[in-house]
């Protein structure tokens, strides 16, 4: 039920801090440490390479997950869009593990890949919000998101839940493989949940930004580098699916290789600059686009911010910034959809779960 909320999407955006806390609880053992079932851990640690298979927003969460598996657990990881994988399969490693990420657990494109890899005899793990869903039933292992039902077509809380759960998977695998912990994940996820709450309380500010940057526009760009690049893809998808504004997310460094030709007077560019290591580069990209007339909205983090940045999120661990930086982007899209009189929860031409290939 959406209760007093005008839309499910807004309710689901608001639920994110509680979802993150529930996930921490769900995967915390009696000693306070993160834990997973032994078989799941076994599957992860046996793999010499992980193949993440997903569609849409879930594939964007997968891109963040790849960073966790590689950087925390030292497992090489590839992310594939499920609709492409079936007929364009890469050369597989000797001991692959297939991880399917799907909120609904019913996405036909992903299921088709699952059927194929099962035939080939490879192990599979599904990360899903729906226990008993097709992908969960048909794969060897399941890890649940605990996000509660997601009704709005635009995925919000499932995305943050997927990122948190993937971080937990990677961190548990790292521990069993004897990789030294780089940070206290439980502690840092708690800090991130509080930061998400802070951003959710800044709705009025996000509505103003949405109005200032998107009121009249037909298109918008999202740029970032590293972690921020993954989130820029998600920001663009959210905006196009519910407001019908043509939006593109891309790596800041790619601007000069083509996209910059599209920048005109007043083109909105949302630039994510939460990563200290690439902050100077992305700010350089912002200069390139503003010199050509773009209107830039810089999103940075306490500690990476500079005067004039329009959105500054609270400081969180650099690997967990996607959990927080996506919140203002979700809200900006929500208000753009609302201001344009679009159907926020049921955008045209879209279904919540795509059960056809």
Instruction: Measure the CA–CA gap between 117 and 123, rounded to whole angstroms.
Output: 8
Stretch of 54-62, 186-194, 266-274, 288-296 contacting ligand M6R, by CB under 6 A: 54-62
Stretch of 149-157, 276-284, 289-297, 326-334 contacting ligand M6R, by CB under 6 A: 149-157
What value, to the nearest 5°, has the Cα angle with vertex 78 and ends 72 and 79?
A: 105
Instruction: Measure the CA–CA gap between 334 and 342, rounded to whole angstroms.
Output: 10
- CB within 8 A of 235, min separation 6: which ones? 222, 247, 249, 270, 272, 326, 329, 332, 333
> Is residue 114 near ligand M6R by the rule CB under 6 A?
no
> Is residue 107 near ligand M6R by the rule CB under 6 A?
yes
> Is residue 155 near ligand M6R by the rule CB under 6 A?
yes
Instruction: Measure the CA–CA gap between 332 and 55, rounded to whole angstroms.
Output: 23
| # of chain residues touching ligand M6R (CB under 6 A) | 16
Cβ proximity to ligand M6R, 142 vs 279, nearer residue = 142
> Is residue 281 near ligand M6R by the rule CB under 6 A?
no
Radius of gyration of the chain (CA): 20
Q: Which residue is nearest to ligand M6R (CB)?
A: 56
Identified binder of ligand M6R from the candidate list 40, 57, 275, 325, rule CB under 6 A: 57
352 belongs to the catalytic site: yes
- The distance of closest approach from Cβ of residue 343 to ligand M6R in the complex, given in angstroms and rounded to an integer, is 13
Stretch of 2-10, 51-59, 257-265, 326-334 contacting ligand M6R, by CB under 6 A: 51-59
Stretch of 100-108, 175-183, 189-197, 261-269 contacting ligand M6R, by CB under 6 A: 100-108
What b/e string do you get for 11-46 counting C-beta neighbours within 10 Å, with b at 16 or more? bbbbbbbebbbbbbeebeeeeeebbbeeebbebbbe
> CA of 160: how far to CAs of 34, 39, 141, 189, in Å?
18, 25, 21, 11
The residue to which tokens 């905006």 are assigned: 239
Site for ligand M6R in 68-97 (CB under 6 A): none
> Is residue 249 near ligand M6R by the rule CB under 6 A?
no
> Is residue 133 near ligand M6R by the rule CB under 6 A?
no
Site for ligand M6R in 295-354 (CB under 6 A): 353-354
> Is residue 136 near ligand M6R by the rule CB under 6 A?
no
The answer to whether 332 and 214 have CB atoms below 8 angstroms apart is yes
Q: On the CB side of 296, how many CA atoms lie within 13 Å of its CA? A: 24
Binding stretches for ligand M6R (CB under 6 A): 55-58, 102-104, 107, 110, 153-155, 237, 241, 353-354
- Please give the positions annotated as active site: 352
């Amino acid at each position: 039920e959406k209760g007093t909320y005008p839309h499910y999407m807004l309710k689901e955006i608001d639920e994110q801090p509680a979802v993150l806390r529930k996930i921490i609880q769900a995967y915390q053992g009696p000693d306070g440490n993160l834990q997973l079932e032994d078989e799941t851990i076994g599957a992860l640690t046996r793999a010499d390479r992980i193949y993440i298979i997903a569609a849409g927003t879930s594939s964007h969460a997968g891109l963040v997950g790849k960073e966790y598996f590689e950087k925390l657990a030292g497992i090489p990881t590839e992310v594939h869009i499920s609709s492409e994988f079936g007929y364009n399969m890469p050369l597989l490693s000797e001991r692959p593990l297939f991880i399917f990420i799907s909120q609904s657990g019913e996405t036909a494109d992903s299921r088709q890949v699952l059927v194929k890899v099962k035939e080939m005899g490879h192990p599979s793990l599904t990360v899903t919000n729906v226990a008993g869903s097709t992908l969960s039933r048909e794969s060897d292992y399941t890890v649940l998101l605990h996000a509660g039902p997601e009704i709005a077509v635009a995925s919000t809380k499932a995305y943050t839940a997927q990122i948190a759960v993937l971080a937990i998977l990677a961190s548990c695998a790292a521990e069993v493989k004897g990789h030294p912990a780089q940070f206290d994940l439980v502690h840092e996820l708690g800090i991130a949940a509080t930061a998400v709450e802070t951003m959710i309380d800044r709705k009025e500010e996000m509505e103003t930004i949405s109005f200032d940057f998107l009121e009249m526009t037909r298109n918008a760009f999202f740029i970032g580098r590293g972690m921020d690049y993954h989130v820029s893809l998600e920001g663009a998808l959210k905006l196009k699916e519910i407001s019908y504004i043509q939006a593109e997310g891309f790596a800041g460094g790619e601007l000069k290789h083509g996209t910059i030709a599209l920048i005109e007077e007043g083109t909105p560019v949302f630039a994510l600059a939460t990563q200290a290591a690439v902050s100077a580069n992305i700010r350089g990209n912002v200069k390139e686009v503003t010199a050509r007339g773009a209107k830039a909205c810089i999103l940075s983090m306490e500690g990476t911010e500079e005067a004039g940045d329009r959105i500054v999120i609270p400081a969180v661990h650099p690997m967990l910034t996607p959990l927080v930086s996506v919140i203002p982007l979700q809200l900006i899209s929500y208000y753009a959809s609302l201001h344009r009189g679009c159907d926020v929860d049921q955008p045209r031409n879209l279904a919540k779960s795509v059960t056809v290939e």
